[in-house]
């Protein structure tokens, strides 16, 4: 559920949002600023009483806010490189040690990365195809990391987000996704430079 130009200082707006959330969504919920990185401004809430604080936290980052239902999912990621012809990386999985993949989990805890992810070939192929299609739809090129949720029990695939400036250290997911395809981080940087020069 998107919120546009929400003002946390107006009680009547908050009451309207509470009514809509209670009528349409099931807990737990994630409250997110539309534009952010590293999970900044995001809250997971388990009841309606936690909503006002979560909305204010997100509003400090962006005036556009998204409210989403929490799902029981696996977190999968796929890299993309290319200009006119996009190519997908291997698909990897992140298993975080915290309750959800928040800022602390991303930067302070040792999470388990599995590359390639232990998923069916059909799911892997779909994620790679969806990654290319999503980037083409939004005119994202050169490089990006596309993040997905795979719902446990149903294997339903959800596109979570496209990261146009993914982490790029030797421990970051984006470069690690290319290693199984024979590209270490230095070779990946060189390839990206060539893509830009040749386009």
The two structure tokens encoding residue 153: 């029990």
pLDDT at position 9, please? Answer: 74
Domain CATH code at residue 126: 3.30.470.20
Angle of CA points 170, 175, 179, to nearest 5°: 100
Separation of alpha carbons 121 and 182, rounded Å: 20
pLDDT at position 106, please? Answer: 53
Claim to verify: residue 47 and residue 89 sit in the same structural domain: no
Q: Residue 156: phi, psi to the nearest 5?
A: -75, 135
Q: pLDDT by residue (tens digit) across 106-157?
A: 545 577 899 999 999 999 999 999 999 999 999 999 999 999 999 999 999 9
The percent of residues above 90 in pLDDT, for the chain, comes to 58
Residue keyed to tokens 């386009």: 199
pLDDT at position 142, please? Answer: 96
Residue 59: domain span: 2-69
Q: Which residues pair with 81 in a beta bridge?
A: 87, 143
Domain CATH code at residue 47: 3.30.1490.20
pLDDT at position 105, please? Answer: 52
Q: pLDDT by residue (tens digit) across 83-99?
A: 989 999 999 999 876 56
Mean pLDDT of the chain: 88
Claim to verify: residue 185 and residue 125 sit in the same structural domain: yes
SS3 content of the chain, % helix, strand, coil (to 5): 35, 30, 35
Claim to verify: residue 56 and residue 90 sit in the same structural domain: no
pLDDT at position 101, please? Answer: 53
pLDDT at position 112, please? Answer: 86
Q: pLDDT by residue (tens digit) across 37-67?
A: 656 788 999 999 999 999 989 988 888 898 9
Q: pLDDT by residue (tens digit) across 3-38?
A: 787 777 788 888 888 898 999 999 899 898 887 665
**Overall number of domains in the chain:** 2
- Identify whether the C-beta of residue 2 lies closer than 8 Å to the C-beta of residue 66: yes
Separation of alpha carbons 87 and 167, rounded Å: 19
Packing angle of the helix pair 11-24, 51-59 (nearest 10 deg): 110
Confidence of residue 169 (pLDDT cuts 50, 70, 90): confident
Claim to verify: residue 93 and residue 41 sit in the same structural domain: no
Domain endpoint, select from 17, 43, 69 = 69
Claim to verify: residue 46 and residue 96 sit in the same structural domain: no
Claim to verify: residue 35 and residue 55 sit in the same structural domain: yes
């Amino acid at each position: 559920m998107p919120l546009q130009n929400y003002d946390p200082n107006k009680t009547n707006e908050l009451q309207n949002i509470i009514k809509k959330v209670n009528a349409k969504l099931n807990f737990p919920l994630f409250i997110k600023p539309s534009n952010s990185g590293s999970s900044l401004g995001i809250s997971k809430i388990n009841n309606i009483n936690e909503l006002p604080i979560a909305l204010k936290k997100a509003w400090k980052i962006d005036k556009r806010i998204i409210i989403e239902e929490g799902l029981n999912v696996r977190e999968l990621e796929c890299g993309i490189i290319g200009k006119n012809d996009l190519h997908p990386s291997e698909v990897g999985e992140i298993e975080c040690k915290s309750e959800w993949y928040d800022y602390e989990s991303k930067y302070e805890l040792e999470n388990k990365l599995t590359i390639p992810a232990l998923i069916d070939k059909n799911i892997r192929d779909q994620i790679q195809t969806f990654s290319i299609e999503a980037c083409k739809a939004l005119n994202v090129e050169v490089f990006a990391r596309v993040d997905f949720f795979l719902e446990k029990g149903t294997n339903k695939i959800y596109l979570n987000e496209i990261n146009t400036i993914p982490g790029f250290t030797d421990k970051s997911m984006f470069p690690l996704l290319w290693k199984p395809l024979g590209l270490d981080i230095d070779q990946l940087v060189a390839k990206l430079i060539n893509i830009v020069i040749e386009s």
